[in-house]
Amino acid sequence: MKFSVTKTSSSKLTDINFETLKFGDTFADHMFEVRYKNGAWGDGAILPYGPIKLDPAFSVLHYGQAVFEGMKAFRYKGNKVNIFRLDMHYKRFIRSCDRMNIAHVPQEMFVESIKQLVDVDRGWVPADKYKSLYLRPFIFASDEFLGVRVAMNYRYMVITGPVGNYYSEGIKPTKLTTYPQYVRAVKGGTGEAKVPGNYAATMQPNALAAKEGYAQVLWLDAFEHKYIEEVGTSNIFFKIGDELITPPLEGTILPGITRDSVIWLAKKWGMHVVERKISIDEVFEASKAGDLQEIFATGTAAVISPVGYIHHDGKAIDLKQDKMGELSQKLYDTLTGIHHGDVEDPDDWCTLI
Ligand SMILES: Cc1ncc(COP(=O)(O)O)c(C=O)c1O
């Protein structure tokens, strides 16, 4: 599958300071676009990055029928670029599309749109270790129609942008809080899909958390407000005694690709990894008993993010850590090593171009 390519006549690449990159405000020169109409996909195209024309009646603007993914491409040894776990991101994209009843992007179109776009903007993949090119494939309903119905027209697009080292100012364990008055997801809802509405619904609690001095909200289950689900835009792990525990995927949690990679690696290292329900009270009790060794969040953005403090119901756990724990550091070093080719690809996780 080969797409048409229209290159920009005014590349922004030389204007970019790769030393001061933040997340999400810098975009590479090109983007991918393809339209779905009358039950079929049109011809995909790589175009100069820029604004797109939207009809004000576009169904996505009113009813939010859309899905996105987030993944990264890294500089790899031998002057190659590595797209991390592309196949697994496709599988999650399709599962999310099913939940939104959105037309499937064929696997070849998804894979090739990303590979060919990254290849055209190869120069935008930062050379430094820990930096990367963030990749954002997304699809949205584009019917010009205000009735609530499954859309018949869609646009699938990919945009990309270089991002800096998440830990450029050093690794500082984060502070989390629970909010029993807010809920992220319920079984049968959309919590396990990567859809914009899930994120929109977290803006108010996120703003409150920031105001109260917390980095993220630690989400509890919707019924008992007791079992831990995930944190912000990451999954969560607890090292208690010799067990590595993470909440199970039962419909309310996004099945993180970093979560999957961490489980895979920890099992390979002979650790006792358990996907099971874990209550906030169990974590407080483990902390009191001195068995709680590490808490860390996992996600594409930070890879591994240590958690040092959890506030819940007027009480707090303070691990009094000012750096990553031993296991968190080993996972971080291994995963970033795999990203950049310093550690061997364990299980076909790397797509090299
Ligand atoms: C709600 C949520 N949970 C977990 C994750 C972690 O997933 P991944 O490791 O695939 O980035 C993300 C990020 O995509 C997220 O948005």
Q: Domains of the chain (ranges plus CATH)? A: 4-165 (3.30.470.10), 174-340 (3.20.10.10)
Does ligand 1 have an atom closer than 6 angstroms to the CB of 230? yes
The atom of ligand 1 lying closest to the CA of 257 is 10
Determine the Cα–Cα distance for residues 214 and 231; give it in Å rounded to an integer. 12
Q: pLDDT tens, 321-345?
A: 888 999 999 999 999 999 999 999 9
Q: What are the tens digits of pLDDT across the range 179-229? A: 999 999 999 999 999 999 999 999 999 999 999 999 999 999 999 999 999
Query: Is the pLDDT assigned to residue 168 strictly greater than 80?
Result: no
33 in helix, strand or coil?
A: strand
Q: Which atom of ligand 1 is nearest to the CA of 258?
A: 9
Question: Which residue's alpha carbon is at the smallest distance from atom 15 of ligand 1?
Answer: 233
CA-CA distances (angstroms) from residue 195 to 10, 60, 133, 174, 200? 33, 11, 22, 25, 9
- The DSSP output letter for 266 is H
Q: Which of 151, 219, 216, 227 is nearest to 191 (CA)?
A: 219
**Distance (Å) from CA 181 to ligand 1 centroid:** 23
Tell me the pTM: 0.97
- pLDDT, mean over the chain: 96
CA of 8 to the centre of ligand 1 (A): 32
Tell which one of 87, 163, 234, 246 to mutate to probe ligand 1, the residue whose CB is within 8 A of the most ligand atoms. 234
CA of 58 to the centre of ligand 1 (A): 27
Please determine, for residue 297, whether its predicted confidence score (pLDDT) is greater than 90.
yes
Tell which atom from ligand 1 comes closest to the C-alpha of 230: 3
3-state secondary structure of 264: helix
Q: Does 70 contact ligand 1 (Cβ within 6 A)?
A: yes
